[in-house]
Amino acid sequence: MTATETTDPGSGVAVDRPALDLLVWDAPNIDMTLATVIGARPTAASRPRFDAIAAWFVGGSGEPGRGGADDVEACVFANVPPQHVTTLRGWVEALRSFGYSVFARPKSRPDDDIDQSMLDHIEVRAASHRLRRLVVFSGDGRNFAEPLEDLARAGTDVVVVAFSEVAGYAISSDLLHFVDIEDVPGAFAAPLDRVRLDSLPPDGAWLRPTKSLRDAAAAYSTKHP
């Protein structure tokens, strides 16, 4: 069999599988970690630009039939709290207009998450296509480290894109490639207000607290009366 063929388990006949470059975006994780690294609630000005990220992703895929992937697909996975349906509708439609598929599920409980839905979709695409490149926007190593490394061992070029402050699982892996999201060209309209430990100025830099000292002390006193 060639690299683009697999065996149909029913017939035992080799079948062609089209090549695919796949991007999956963990919206809750990226939003949460963005707030962590800038120490504030993200605003429209500090949120990622999905059109620039689409251009970067497609630009790294090459041209169909010329050594690149035969196809590209980008998917955003999001939880939708009932009280935010109206405000999220415009965001979802903007994503679709940039070429992204959106998987949205209701968030009715605090522990509702979309990680398994992301992993299920990756598994489906890995079975139906020759997954040449997988780009995962998530800093969640607990759920993604092992399955992503398994795919890398199987020959997929796996790239994790997140913030370096929260993506130790990808940075330390010998199998995964890591890109800081702020290093994606045009990903943000202006530089984020953050200090990265992997790119400190020679004279050093101050990292501001993300919580007030009094709030931290009060939280400790509540847990340890």
**Domain total in the chain:** 1
Beta partners for 76?
25, 102
Cα 85 from Cα 79, distance rounded (Å): 10
Residue 200 lies in a domain: no
Q: Is residue 7 part of a domain?
A: no
**Cβ(28)–Cβ(139) under 8 Å?**
no
- 106: CATH: 3.40.50.1010
Query: Does any domain span residue 217?
Result: no
**Domain range enclosing 24:** 17-190
Kindly state the helix (H) or strand (E) to which residue 23 belongs, with its residue range. strand 19-26
Cβ neighbours for 27, distance < 8 A, ≥ 6 positions apart? 76, 77, 78, 79, 114
**176 in any annotated domain:** yes
Q: Which of 20, 27, 73 is nearest to 47 (CA)?
A: 27
What pLDDT, on the 0 to 100 scale, is given for residue 11? 46
> C-alpha distances in angstroms, 126 versus 18, 38, 58, 177?
10, 35, 19, 18
Ranges of residues in the chain whose predicted pLDDT is under 70: 1-15, 62-70, 108-112
Residue 137 in tokens? 């926007």
Residue 22 lies in a domain: yes
Q: Quick check: 184 and 163 in contact, CB under 8 A?
A: no
**Residues 83, 80: Cα–Cα separation, whole Å:** 8
- Is 11 inside a domain boundary? no
Residue 64 falls inside a structural domain: yes
**pLDDT at site 70:** 64
* pTM reported for the whole predicted model: 0.82
Find all residues with CB under 8 Å of 134, minimum gap 6, and list them.
21, 22, 23, 24, 122, 148, 151, 156, 157, 158, 159
According to the model, what pLDDT value does residue 64 have? 59
Are 102 and 96 spatial neighbours (Cβ–Cβ below 8 Å)?
Answer: yes
Residue-level pLDDT at 14 = 45
| pLDDT per position as a tens digit, 160-208 | 999 998 889 999 999 999 999 999 999 999 988 887 777 787 888 787 7
pLDDT on residue 3: 40
Residue written as token pair 């202006």: 190
CA angle at residue 39 from 113 to 215, to 5 degrees?
Answer: 95
- In a domain, residue 195? The reply is no
User: In whole angstroms, what is the distance from residue 134 CA to residue 116 CA?
Assistant: 16
